[in-house]
Amino acid sequence: MEIEKESLSPTLGRYLEKGRQHAGLSLRRLATASGVPLRTIRRILNDEVESPAAEDLQQLARVLELDESDVFGYIGVTPPKGLPDVAPYLRAKHKLKGESLNKAAEEIQSIINKYDNMSPE
């Protein structure tokens, strides 16, 4: 969701609250959709959390269709550009660890290498 520059709120809580209202979600529905506990959402929206968890902010931004860069900008964090390598992605998305993580990352990397060398059709 795009919020016009002049209507940007001066705090993260106000910005997310505007996004919540624009999305038409109750606090409970936002909690359910995002997986962020209701109490945590209330505290973030009331600007009672000095350093909210990155995962919570990502989930709230996703559900509210807000730009993650804007959300993280309110807490002074610039998210990295681009996508993560295979292993960190598999660890974060699929909770893989140890040998299963290594094996999956190797298999996927070999597929990527195979197709990176092919000419586009």
CB atoms near residue 75 (< 10 Å): 13
- How large is the angle between the packed helices 54-64 and 27-34, nearest 10 degrees? 110
**Torsion-angle region of residue 47: left (phi > 0), alpha (psi -120 to 50) or beta?**
left
DSSP string, 47-109: T--SS--HHHHHHHHHHHT--HHHHHHTTT--PPSSPPPHHHHHHHHH---HHHHHHHHHHHH
The rounded mean pLDDT for the chain is 85
At 78 the pLDDT is 77
- Tokens 């804007």, located at residue: 70
Its pTM stands at 0.62
Task: Tell me which amino acid residue 31 is.
Answer: A
- Tokens 């993580």, located at residue: 101
Using the predicted structure, report yes or no on whether residue 89 has a pLDDT greater than 80. no
Using the predicted structure, report yes or no on whether residue 93 has a pLDDT greater than 60. yes
At 5 the pLDDT is 38
State the virtual CA torsion across 23, 26, 28, 34 in degrees, nearest 10: 10
DSSP state of 46: T
